[in-house]
Structure 1
Amino acid sequence: MKKLCMCLLLALALSVNALALEVPTDTVVQNLNGSQQLIKTYVLHPDADPQGLIEEPFEQEGYLYTFADIVKEENLLSDTLYRRETVTVETASNDLSKILEQLEPSVDYDDGTYKGTLTLDHTSIHTEASGYETRSSTVTATKTIGPVDRNDMSYVPATTVKNGVTLNLSGVDWQVTGTDLVGDALAPASYQAVATYSGKSYYKAVTGYVTTAGYAGEISRDGVESVTYRVMYLGTEGGTAEAAAKHIGNTLPGYVPYVIGGLGLALLAVLIVMLLRSRREVQEFRDEEPGEHEEESR
C-alpha cells in the first residue's frame, strides 16, 4: 500500500514539472495614452520557441487582457582572448632562410567557438637535429722518408697518424737522391721513400632537422547568448462572468488544475484499493464463521 502511494506521488510530481510554465523576469502594467497595457518579459535560450509564452485572454484587476504583440531582442555575447599555438616542421637544413620558406607568415585559427588570425613570432623559432647516422670518409697522407743509404722497407713505418686517425701504409715510391762513381759507371748512393697512407674516419652525420615556431594573436567569439521576449497584452475595462471564471483560473499557476486532477486520481486509486481490501477481509471473516459455530455446538 505504501509503495503504491509513493509511485502515485512520484508520477504526480513529474507531471507538475513537465507542465510548469515559463516565469517572467518582469511584469509591467501601464496606461499609455489611454491604452491599458500589460507587458511580460521573458529571457529564453536562443533555441526556445516563444509561441509557448502567449497566453489565452485573462482578466486582472478589472481588465480583460488579450494578446497584442511580441517583441524579440537578441542578447549578444562577444569576448576576446590572447591565443598562442606552436607548429612543427621538418627541414633538411638548419638554414634560417630555408626554414622560413616552410613557415607561413600567419595562420587562421578556428576551434568552432573562437576565430582569429595568428602571426608568426620569429623570436620563437627553434631548430634542432631530428636524427643522426654514422658515416665515413677516406683520409690520406703522404710522407717522405730519407735520404737513406738503401731502398730498404725497414726505413718506412707501417702506419702514421693524421688528425687523430691511424692510417695504414698503402704504397711506397723509392727515389734516388744521390749517386757515386763506381768504376766507369754511376751507382745510386742514397734514396728517399715517398710513402702514402690511407684510412677511414667515422663520424655522426645529421639526417634532418625539426623546427618549432610559435604563432600568436587575438581570437574572438560572437554569438547570441539569450533572447529577451516582451509579450504585450491590451486590456479592456470590465469583464463578463466568463471572464471572471477565467480570472480565477489565471490567478493560479498554470499547473494547479493538473495538480488537483492528479490528486483526485490518486485519491480514487487509494479508495479502490481500500475497498478491494475490505471486501477480501469480509469474505475471509465469513469463511471462518461456520467452523466457530460447529465448535460451540459440540
Structure 2
Amino acid sequence: KDGYTLPLTNVSWTVMGTSLAGDTLVPTEYKAVATYSKTFSSQVPTGYVSTARYKGNVTKTTADTATFTITYAGKLIENGMPPVLKAVTGMIAVLLLGCAIAMLLLYLKNRQGADVYNLIDKEYICIGRQNVNPKQPVIDLNEFEDLIQSNVFQFVLDKKTTKALFGRNISVTYKDMTVKHRVNEKKGEYRFELDLGGVLDAE
C-alpha cells in the first residue's frame, strides 16, 4: 500500500455453504478474511518561527525643568505703613463711617410713617406701610388698592410721626374720598380707625 509491503497478520475462515455426503453434512464453500497490518511513523511540525522587521523613527519627549529667580527692588518697610498710606487709609475709614451714618439716618428718616391695616374676615391684616411727610401728612390708600377688601381701616403711626403730628390733622385718601383725623396723643405709637363707608360698594 502506497509503496509499502504489509505483512499478513491473521486469516479467519467462515463456512458459507454445506451439503450432505451420505448421512454427514460437510462444508462445501468457505469465506476467508485476511488481515494485513504495519506500523508507520512520521514527523510533523509542531511550531513555527517567524521574523518581523519594523522600520521607522522612535522618539521620546521629556519635560525640562526651569528655575526662575525673582529679585525685588525697593526698600523694606520696617515700621508698618508709610505715613502717607496711613493718612489715606484713615481718610477712607472716616468716609466709610460717614456714609454708614448717613445711610442709617436716611433709613431712620424713611421709617417715619404709618402701618396700614384692613379689616378682613373680622381681623385687621397689615397690607403695607407708607411714609408720612410731617409737612403734608397724607396716607394714600390707592397704593394698596389690590389688597383692600373692606371699608374699615386701622392706622398705626410710629413714635416719631406721632410726636411730629400731635394736635394736627392727617388726611386719608382713597378713590375720590378724603377723610381727616386729628392726632390726639404725643408719646408712643398712635393707633386710630376709620370707616370709609360705601367707597368699595360704589365701585
What TM-score results when the alignment is normalised by the length of structure 1?
0.19
Flag the structure with more relative contact order, 1 or 2, with Cα contacts below 8 A and sequence separation at least 6: 1
What TM-score results when the alignment is normalised by the length of structure 2?
0.27
| More helix per residue | 1
Q: Rg larger in 1 or in 2?
A: 2
